[in-house]
Structure 1
Amino acid sequence: MARSINQVGVIGLGKVGELVAGLLNDAGFKVSGYDTQPHPGLRFETEQLDVSDGEVLRDALRGLDAVVSCLPYDRNIEVAEAAAAVGCHYFDLTEDVPTTQRVIELAGQTPGVAFVPQCGLAPGLIGIVGASLAKGFEEIRSIELKVGALPQNPTGLLGYAFNWSAEGVVNEYLNDCEVLRSGRRQMVPAMTEKERVFIGGIELEAALTSGGLGTMCPTYEGHVQRLDYKTLRYPGHFRQMHFLFDELGLRDHREEVGRMLVKAKPPVNDDIVYIHAAVEGVKDGQPFRENYVKGYLPIEIDGRMWRAISWTTASSAVAVVELVADGVLPHEGFLRQEDICLEDLHATHAGRRFAEYGRISA
């Protein structure tokens, strides 16, 4: 069957966007990359583009079947609105709740176009994993989802390296979190409900952070007693972040804190991404808990080593584009990550890496 998506634009060619474009190219799409800076020598066409110029942005999207925004969360709405204006399928990596709400509005106003935000790790892959586990249960008591993008060899009291957007991490730590408690949606403070987690003999800690569930709370409200998303860190991390934000009074200085943290804990190449999902309830008539636990390391793609956070995020996003293009997912409306089957994702060109790699078995 012919694909419904052939020409794809990728906006933002940073540490994830460049790989998104490369994986789309490998999956057989015709790719155009856009960034404010020139990127010569890549395997696909590139152009310089300033998304703040709406007319120029819309012109760039005309003629494309789909666009994947790999920009910072606060620039995605501009791309989504331009995609709606020209009838271009839209995908992004955002964890930002207001951005997703605007994308949902656009999906309801734009017939014949698919809008698929939250295609990264959390929200994104972790929701796909959790929802796929849950489908095997007759009754679901809880869905617990956790992701950690960490250095393999941590140092210092924070035990962390900012391989991802510092602005995004700070927002996750400070914005309230949507959860299900007793089957109902609630908002609770971030960096609370800390717990110990062991993966492959390594002790970690987990605490609530915002945005990681995407649209799962309204999806499962009234059907699941308890649902939450927590970020994994090395022990003691959240205590230090509470000191920074609360005792030093820096909650209202997010940009300054972000710059300070990146300078203190810069990116590293030897990272690891942990995925930890657990569902409890009744399965085959008996009480049961099912776990899905993976640890993903950096891998080589097309002769170049890519950090774990980069390739896992990019592969998840590209796999979803493939599923829409191939008709496995609908070509219209707002698509939720929890409606995607993990087996279908594993069957895509990009998503097969999740089935092939992973230091810790399910």
Structure 2
Amino acid sequence: MINKVLTLGLGKVGTLVATLLSEKFEVTGIDKQAPHYDYELPFKILSGDVADSAFLSKIIEEHDAVVSALPYFLNKPIAKIAHDKGKHYFDLTEDVETTNYIRSLSETATAVLAPQCGLAPGIIGIIGADLAKDFDTLRSIEMRVGALPKYPNGDLGYAFTWSAAGVVNEYINDAEAIHDGQRKLVRSLQGKETININGGIYEAFYTSGGLGTMCETYEGKVDRLDYKTIRYPGHCERMNFLIHELHMKNDKQQLEDILKNAKPPVDEDVVLVYAAAEGWKNGAIDRKEFVRAYTPININGNSWRAISWTTAASIVAVVEMVAMGALDSKGFIKQEEISFSEFLKSHTGQFFN
């Protein structure tokens, strides 16, 4: 049963997560500083430091589920407390090492442990698996996601509407893939390709973490499986220059600071989601595709950026599915094991229709 939900981190995404959850659950949001909006938020807000384990342990004890909208590097101790207290845990992390740690807790879990519930990893894995499920033999699964300014400026063509720490982390760490049937690591910011979505020309390249656990799930079942991030043309080359030629991979914090200062968030954004699967069914080869461009929408009278609502709706839908009994009630949840049709039937998942 899930009745009381604790949401950690009340930035743009976390605030919307708590807002959407409050339509079905009793919600408490925690951050060091309460968010400031010109309207009343529909959930209880507490000020607190998530680094204070005694405070966090006490407040988690009072709830049925914990949803972390915090940066990935804060999630390990939170997941451990939730696990020890027997509380459901959900987060948005794209970090592989953090996910592996959380997964290691699942062997003794009495509740759900569900990291990687955002866009990529997250709903892109749900969509990719849905496209692949009806083939007798799979040849490939391609997954691409991009969160972009609608009106790009400058050579980077980007705006940090998402966590700069998360973006830098996925650009620097190696990415998993399956190529020629073999599971392997590939270097992020490589494998650049041109992609056309609704007449717009973009580039896509490897970044880490976007596949979640899919390489493990599909190893031995597909010839090619990979994830790439979508950007405007030229972005990949310039990030390679910063990270590798200028060796800024050795100073992540400085790189984050430079990028956040240079490319602040914008209100007019677009989230591009592209997935395709190829294979054979009844002896005939076929290709199935899912292509969408999501833009800002109005929720309860307020406008929300595309990156905010797509990310928030992804994780809230999974919480709803656990509460409804549509997913297992304990243990580690792989995103690719979530039914896309059931996801779309959830109260919040309907946003993606």
TM > 0.5 between the two?
A: yes
Q: Counterpart in 2 of 1:181?
A: 179
Aligned to 1:166: 164
- Output aligned runs, 1:31-70, within 5 Å: 31-39=27-35, 41-70=40-69
Name which of 249, 268, 271 aligns with 1:270. Answer: 268
- Give 5+ residue unaligned stretches, structure 1: 356-362
Residues 39 and 191 (structure 1 numbering): CA distance in 2 closer, same or farther, change over 3 Å? closer
Measure, in 1, the Cα distance between the counterparts of 2:187 and 2:273: 22
* Structure 1 contact 35–48 (Cα < 8 Å) conserved: yes
Matched, 1:15 2:12: yes
Q: Aligned partners of 1:199 and 1:146: how far apart in 2?
A: 11
1:202 counterpart letter in structure 2: G
Q: Tell me what 1:352 maps to.
A: 350
**Can you list the C-alpha shifts for 1:32-68, whole angstroms capped at 9, x where unaligned?**
1111113474211111121111111110011211110
SS of corresponding position for 1:295: strand
Q: Is the 8 A contact 1:162 1:262 kept in 2?
A: yes
User: Which amino acid in 2 is paired with 1:287?
Assistant: I
SS in 2 for 1:349: coil
1:260 to 2:275 alignment: no
TM-score (norm 1): 0.95
Structure 2: distance between partners of 1:193 and 1:38: 42
Q: Secondary structure at the match of 1:33?
A: strand
Alpha-carbon displacement from aligned partner over 1:164-199 (angstroms, at most 9, x marks no partner): 011111111110011111222101110111100000
Who is 1:358 aligned against? none
Identity rate, percent: 52
Aligned to 1:141: 139
Question: Secondary structure in 2 aligned to 1:251?
Answer: helix
Q: Deviations over 1:202-230 (max 9, x none)?
A: 00000000000000000110111111100
CA contact (8 A) 1:51 1:78 kept: no
Report which stretch shifted further, 343-352 or 277-286. Answer: 277-286
Aligned-pair distance for 1:283?
2.6
* Matched pairs, number: 350
Which runs of structure 2 are paired with 1:96-175 in the superposition (5 Å)?
96-110=95-109, 112-175=110-173
8 A Cα contact 2:10 2:34, kept in partner: no
Q: Does 1:198 align with 2:196?
A: yes
Q: Is the 8 A contact 2:188 2:208 kept in 1?
A: yes
Aligned-partner SS, 1:154: coil
Where does 1:242-253 land on structure 2 (aligned, <5 Å)? 242-253=240-251
Aligned to 1:30: 26
CA–CA distance in structure 1, aligned partners of residues 34 and 198 of structure 2: 42
Q: Hey, what does 2:87 align to over in structure 1?
A: 88
> 2:281, 2:100 → 1: CA distance?
34
Give the unaligned 5+ runs of structure 2. none
Aligned to 2:162, what secondary structure does the other structure show?
A: coil
- Residue aligned with 2:211, SS: coil
1:352 Cα deviation (Å)?
0.1
Q: Distance in 1 between matches of 2:312 and 2:245?
A: 37
SS at match of 1:16: helix
* Distance change in 2, residues 1:186/1:49 (3 Å): same
Q: Is the 8 A contact 1:151 1:272 kept in 2?
A: yes
- Measure, in 2, the Cα distance between the counterparts of 1:241 and 1:211: 18
What RMSD in Å do the two structures reach over aligned CA positions?
A: 1.0
**Structure 1, residues 137-189: CA drift from partner, whole Å, max 9, x if none?**
11111100000000111111111111101111111111001111122210111
CA distance in 1, matches of 2:186, 2:16: 35
Counterpart check, 1:299 vs 2:297: yes
Q: CA deviation at 1:293?
A: 0.2
Correspondence for 2:206: 208
Q: Does the aligned pair in 2 maintain the 1:58–1:85 contact within 8 Å?
A: no
Question: Residue 360 of structure 1 corresponds to which residue in structure 2?
Answer: none
Residue 284 (structure 1) shift = 3.8
Matches of 1:239 and 1:145 in 2, distance apart? 21
The TM-score with structure 2 as length reference comes to 0.97
> Counterparts of 1:39 and 1:295 in 2: how far apart (Å)?
29
Moved more, 63-72 or 283-292: 283-292
